Amino acid sequence: MNALLTAIVMWLSTNFDLPPSYDPPRVEFVHATRIAVLRYKGLLPNRRPEIALINDQASPPAQREVVAVYHDATRTIYLPDGWTGRTPAELSVLVHEVVHHLQSLARIKYECPQAGEKLAYAAQEKWLGLFGRDLARDFEVDPFTLLVSTRCIH
């Protein structure tokens, strides 16, 4: 995994305005519900967010499924159980989360958390493009969804 992370960091720092860092994140494989709890913690109505995500429903209503998440405080990327990295789409998820790791290490500040997603999605799209794929085909992220997902709404 460290060799893969190093290759991704090199690719990202070459193709995007991100400083390279070879202090790799931790990577953990967890159930999709755990990923959603980490992503939506503080946004769910319960004191115990995992209760709001019953029956393996990985996202709150009206939200897209959360595929992976990066946790700044622990410098950990959480990937879903069963992730193998054998497809361009699976690898693109890791690319997306490594962007967040590099943003965190570089202490890059954004107006809102969604604004930091813009670069992560751009990197993911470029990675997928290397294989003739794209976000719309592999993740049902169309241009409008991308716009809404990366804008600060105050």
pLDDT at 39: 83
Judge contact between 34 and 58, C-beta under 8 A: no
Is there a domain that residue 154 lies in?
no
Instruction: Band the pLDDT of 113: cuts 50, 70, 90.
Output: confident
Q: For the chain, what percentages of helix, strand and coil (3-state, to nearest 5) are there?
A: 50, 10, 45
pLDDT at 49: 42
Instruction: Band the pLDDT of 145: cuts 50, 70, 90.
Output: confident
Number of domains, the chain: 1
- Does pTM surpass 0.75? yes
Is there a domain that residue 62 lies in?
yes
DSSP 2-67: HHHHHHHHHHHHHHSS------PPEEEEE-HHHHHHHHHTTTSSSSSHHHHT-TT--S-TTSPPP-
Q: Which of 25-29, 62-66, 125-129, 140-144 has the lowest mean pLDDT?
A: 62-66
pLDDT at 153: 82
Average pLDDT (13-27) is 94
The tokens describing 79, both together, are: 């990937």
The tokens describing 126, both together, are: 């470029």
Which whole-number Å values give the CA distances from 52 to 42, 81, 144, in the listed order? 12, 20, 28
For residue 106, what are the contacts with CB-CB under 8 A and spacing of at least 6? 18, 19, 21
Instruction: Band the pLDDT of 154: cuts 50, 70, 90.
Output: low
Q: What percent of the chain has pLDDT over 90?
A: 71
| Residue 58 confidence (pLDDT) above 50 | no
Give the span between the Cα atoms of 17 and 15, in whole angstroms.
7
- Domain extent, residue 109, equals 2-149
Give the span between the Cα atoms of 78 and 39, in whole angstroms.
10
What confidence tens digit (pLDDT) does each residue in 64-109 have?
A: 577 999 999 999 999 999 999 999 999 999 999 999 999 999 999 9
Average pLDDT (119-131) is 97
| Residue 48 confidence (pLDDT) above 70 | no
Is there a domain that residue 131 lies in?
yes
Is there a domain that residue 102 lies in?
yes
pLDDT at 40: 80
Judge contact between 8 and 94, C-beta under 8 A: yes
Is there a domain that residue 116 lies in?
yes
